[in-house]
Amino acid sequence: MTVTFRPGVLIGPNGRGSVPVGDDLGYTTSQLAPPNHTLQVATIGAPGIGRQLTGIFLVPHTGGQARLAQGNGHGLRGVPPFGYGMQGATHFEDAPNGRYTATDPTGGFYVAGQIGPLHVSAPTPHSCVLSEWTWLADSVHLAYVTACTVPGSTPIRLRLTLQTVSIFAGAPVTLYRTVTSNPDPVDLALGYRCVACG
Alpha-carbon gap, residue 41 to 6, rounded angstroms: 14
Categorize the per-residue pLDDT at 11 as very low, low, confident or very high, splitting at 50, 70 and 90: confident
The model's pTM is: 0.83
- pLDDT at residue 114 is higher than 50: yes
CA 137 vs CA 17, 39, 98, 164, 170: distances in Å: 35, 21, 11, 12, 18
CA atoms within a 13 Å half-sphere pointing along the CA-CB vector of 183:
21
- pLDDT at residue 2 is higher than 90: no
Q: Which of 21-30, 33-42, 56-65, 145-154 has the lowest mean pLDDT?
A: 21-30
In the chain, where are the structural domains located? 1-120, 122-198
CA 190 vs CA 23, 82, 144, 193: distances in Å: 10, 23, 11, 9
Rounded to the nearest 5°, which phi and psi values hold at 104?
-120, 65
Cβ atoms 50, 109 nearer than 8 A:
no
